[in-house]
Chains A and B, each alone.
Chain A
């Protein structure tokens, strides 16, 4: 039995009815990692021994008849910008290539208390800055559907691992599309929750007001299960909202009749690849068949979303990354004669080009010369974008767009600037958004659609995704060649 191919829901049932042990499931996934990791490069750190030890512990608990969480024993990969006590957490940067956190992120505490099995730490763009994983200090991750192509980013390792069967579930983080873009490129489901739904405590910050941790899985149900586990108010993160969350997996419903789905014209005026356009159009037709009301809507400020995002995220990043100064932890240059040289050489040697350019941009955007023209205007535009969404949601329950303009492109492709043009608006407005696979292109590469919901209405977009998945199935796990 190839347990690594099972969904979390299936594995959970197998474990519960004792058709397999947690150790067997874990071993299957670890073996799959051994088999394909040298091709996919999804992981920075693989925790094989810890995973197997933990798996046996969970089996003992099951043997004793303990009542465990449905996700107990399910192997999960963790994006390497989420703090794991005692395990290297590098954020794919040379700067943190020796940093082992003394504490766990809140989401890791939750995963541990549910007795999930951490398989390892997955690759990403350095400090989550990028859409391809190519800015990683370690290596680029390859797309399991075609090893010459990017898996997308920045959570490329997390999406590729799930897509290739190197993890059943994974955690990513999404600041401007970093869960949805790689999910789309790798043919998996990825949810960027509402800002404030999941604790960011322990997530190495890119842009604090936009970052959100979210689940990646092969099915909507799996994503809903993991989201139900990680969401909720946290005293350690002042920006989490104290609202009541239900069990999103138990509440999944594929009856979406009379749900109204908005289709924003502006997204379809973008430079959209024809095959992507066709796939999305077909998906819209499918939703009509499923009984949804399809409405054309307008989000006219979307053309400003990307520059707005670039300024706000770079501004916050320039401040968030100030702490990497060589004083307390992480990399320190060995070449300096005074304090200033220590700062300059440490940061020059240990940050990659993408990080440096964003720090420069962000520093300028917040400077006395730049603040009014850039940061302040971007914040105004952010409000405008937000309020357009609020208006749009008076007319519809959810909004459907492509996730990306194209399917995955070749590694080494330079023109990646627009990769986030469909995804950043949801971050700017703090809205939940999910990527759902909606077919393959002529090269057998996955295409994804994005469903954006109202704040804290993850259930609706999960249901919309669930109905489509029930009707059209999931993407087959690729052969890794």
Chain B
């Protein structure tokens, strides 16, 4: 198994969140009563003609920019012909020869290393309808609400070398779509789906092995399982003296296995040809430039900064990047000069907890990045304790007030005055003779109890490390 290298290429289909469908004015909405978002055009009634939704093209161009693609100012639409009941026209309008975007790359970080995954192309196409099966009726019914919903298909080069890289790639594609706000990215509604191409080869071998394509991969975790299953299957077959046949397989995530859907011999001949009902897509250079300006800071760039520059772990970096609010708060504090680790603890700890529980954005509270930085530096300077810091944090969520005032109001300033602390220590030792005896008999954890009592007596304000030293000096 370790002698082999896995080679993976991905095709990701993402539904675009345009208001209307790709080629008609029907609303692009999910989950409505069957066949209520349909018209003569998306039902393929005789004589109906498509007209292109230009917003979908804009979205594809934005994704192209985000994935560092060359944007084709002239591209074409083609018909892909096949019969299936969920495809009313018996052809899907797609782009075969000249897609909107080509030749890009997406950088991901896996195991602390940056990997650049080539993007072959991004093209626009329309989604099909859905077949409904149920025990309550014979046969199958067709729901055309999804028919004609705009999609982009993002095709990667076979640059992916493990299921972990595939996962990181897919996560980053999804995040990028979300950052650009061009797709709902709801996996459970099927708004992102992928086909996975897998081959294996002996390590060091230059030529690629024969690939198999897996369809029906409906989640990223299914992609991981499917890749691992398929690589194992191919390696075992080769090791047993067999050869891999190029074929299309269907992934069954419940059973955790793939089965042959069709072999190379019965591969479809889609009879692609230029769509005569639509014009060549022409995007002026100014428009291409304008769409580039619309891009926000991209998640792949952020991931690289967090992981490579700041050494944040993949999991934590992902938690930041996945949330606009968290990464924004983190970035602001970082640019104000706060210690990244301290900020990270606040953002992924208390701030995350607050957002989860309240369902609100942290930016809807009175906690600003400036105040969080001030709070962090007060704790680092030991002006207040961690515990007191939490109290201040809670106040900052509710009130527009400066931190100094809170500290004064609540008397939260840490006691670092040696005489005051000595007084507390003496009182605690006097009241807890047994614990002192225990400590002297070797039960070292009694010390913790004594410090705890001191903290309690000081209402949490005592400087804990000073307190500990004082106790030790008194009882040893």
User: A residues touching B (Cβ–Cβ < 8 Å)?
Assistant: 81-83, 89, 91, 96, 99, 101-103, 105, 200-205, 207-209, 235-239, 315-316, 318-319, 322-323, 325, 327-329, 339, 343, 363, 366-368, 371, 375
A-side contacts of B83, CB under 8 Å: 322, 325, 343
List 24 A-B residue pairs with CB atoms under 8 Å apart, sorted by A's residue number: A101-B40, A101-B45, A102-B45, A204-B47, A207-B276, A236-B49, A236-B51, A238-B51, A239-B276, A239-B278, A239-B279, A315-B273, A319-B81, A319-B90, A322-B89, A322-B90, A322-B91, A323-B44, A323-B88, A328-B44, A328-B88, A366-B271, A366-B272, A367-B271
User: B residues touching A (Cβ–Cβ < 8 Å)?
Assistant: 40, 43-52, 79, 81, 83, 85, 88-91, 142, 269, 271-273, 276-279
Once A327-B142, A366-B271, A367-B271 are accepted as A-B contacts, the answer to whether A239 and B47 lie under 8 Å apart by CB is: no
Once A103-B40, A238-B279, A323-B89 are accepted as A-B contacts, the answer to whether A83 and B51 lie under 8 Å apart by CB is: no
A-side contacts of B81, CB under 8 Å: 318-319, 322, 366
B-side contacts of A322, CB under 8 Å: 81, 83, 89-91
Counting from the closest, the 9 A-B pairs by CB-CB distance are A322-B90, A209-B276, A366-B271, A208-B276, A202-B47, A204-B46, A323-B44, A83-B47, A327-B85
B-side contacts of A200, CB under 8 Å: 47, 49
Instruction: Give Cα A105–Cα B272 distance, bound, in whole angstroms.
Output: 28
What 14 new A-B contacts, CB under 8 Å, besides A237-B51, A322-B83? Answer: A99-B46, A200-B47, A202-B47, A207-B276, A208-B277, A235-B51, A238-B50, A238-B52, A238-B277, A315-B273, A316-B273, A318-B81, A323-B89, A329-B46
Once A208-B276, A208-B277, A316-B276 are accepted as A-B contacts, the answer to whether A238 and B49 lie under 8 Å apart by CB is: yes
Q: A96 touching B46 by the CB < 8 A rule?
A: yes
A interface SS class: loop
Q: Whole-angstrom distance from the CB of A404 to the nearest CB of chain B?
A: 27
Q: A339 touching B46 by the CB < 8 A rule?
A: no
A-side contacts of B79, CB under 8 Å: 319
A-side contacts of B90, CB under 8 Å: 319, 322-323, 325
Instruction: Give Cα A203–Cα B277 distance, bound, in whole angstroms.
Output: 12
Instruction: Give Cα A368–Cα B50 distance, bound, in whole angstroms.
Output: 26
Checking B142, B273, B278 against A375 with a beta-carbon cut-off of 8 angstroms, the contacting residue is: B273
A-side contacts of B44, CB under 8 Å: 323, 328
Q: B45 touching A237 by the CB < 8 A rule?
A: no
Query: Which residue of A has the minimal Cβ distance to B267?
Result: A368
Query: Which residue of A has the minimal Cβ distance to B271?
Result: A366
A-side contacts of B279, CB under 8 Å: 238-239
B-side contacts of A327, CB under 8 Å: 85, 88, 142
A-side contacts of B52, CB under 8 Å: 238
Instruction: Give Cα A204–Cα B48 distance, bound, in whole angstroms.
Output: 8
Instruction: Give Cα A202–Cα B48 distance, bound, in whole angstroms.
Output: 5
Q: Whole-angstrom distance from the CB of B437 to the nearest CB of chain A?
A: 87
Of the listed residues A99, A204, A238, the one surrounded by the most CB atoms of chain B closer than 10 A to its CB is A238
Query: Which residue of B has the minimal Cβ distance to A201?
Result: B49
A-side contacts of B278, CB under 8 Å: 238-239
B-side contacts of A208, CB under 8 Å: 276-277
Q: B273 touching A366 by the CB < 8 A rule?
A: yes
Of the listed residues B45, B47, B79, the one surrounded by the most CB atoms of chain A closer than 10 A to its CB is B47
Instruction: Give Cα A367–Cα B82 distance, bound, in whole angstroms.
Output: 12
B-side contacts of A239, CB under 8 Å: 276-279
Instruction: Give Cα A285–Cα B276 distance, bound, in whole angstroms.
Output: 41
Q: Whole-angstrom distance from the CB of B146 to the nearest CB of chain A?
A: 15
Instruction: Give Cα A82–Cα B48 distance, bound, in whole angstroms.
Output: 11
Q: Whole-angstrom distance from the CB of B250 to the nearest CB of chain A?
A: 17
Q: B88 touching A105 by the CB < 8 A rule?
A: no
Q: Whole-angstrom distance from the CB of B276 to the nearest CB of chain A?
A: 4
A-side contacts of B46, CB under 8 Å: 83, 89, 91, 96, 99, 101, 204-205, 323, 329
Query: Which residue of B has the minimal Cβ distance to A235?
Result: B51
Instruction: Give Cα A204–Cα B44 distance, bound, in whole angstroms.
Output: 11
Q: Whole-angstrom distance from the CB of A303 to the nearest CB of chain B?
A: 25
Instruction: Give Cα A237–Cα B51 distance, bound, in whole angstroms.
Output: 7
Instruction: Give Cα A339–Cα B131 distance, bound, in whole angstroms.
Output: 13
Q: A101 touching B51 by the CB < 8 A rule?
A: no
Instruction: Give Cα A202–Cα B49 distance, bound, in whole angstroms.
Output: 8
Q: B51 touching A363 by the CB < 8 A rule?
A: no
A-side contacts of B89, CB under 8 Å: 322-323
Instruction: Give Cα A207–Cα B273 distance, bound, in whole angstroms.
Output: 13
Instruction: Give Cα A156–Cα B85 distance, bound, in whole angstroms.
Output: 35
Q: B48 touching A367 by the CB < 8 A rule?
A: no
Query: Which residue of A has the minimal Cβ distance to B144?
Result: A328
Q: Whole-angstrom distance from the CB of A158 to the nearest CB of chain B?
A: 17
B-side contacts of A319, CB under 8 Å: 79, 81, 90-91, 271, 273
B-side contacts of A315, CB under 8 Å: 273
Q: B45 touching A329 by the CB < 8 A rule?
A: yes
A-side contacts of B51, CB under 8 Å: 235-238
Query: Which residue of B has the minimal Cβ distance to A364?
Result: B271
B-side contacts of A366, CB under 8 Å: 81, 271-273
Instruction: Give Cα A200–Cα B47 distance, bound, in whole angstroms.
Output: 7
Q: Whole-angstrom distance from the CB of A312 to the nearest CB of chain B?
A: 9
B-side contacts of A318, CB under 8 Å: 81, 271
Q: Whole-angstrom distance from the CB of A105 to the nearest CB of chain B?
A: 6
Q: Whole-angstrom distance from the CB of B456 to the nearest CB of chain A?
A: 76
Once A319-B79, A366-B81 are accepted as A-B contacts, the answer to whether A201 and B47 lie under 8 Å apart by CB is: yes
B-side contacts of A83, CB under 8 Å: 45-47
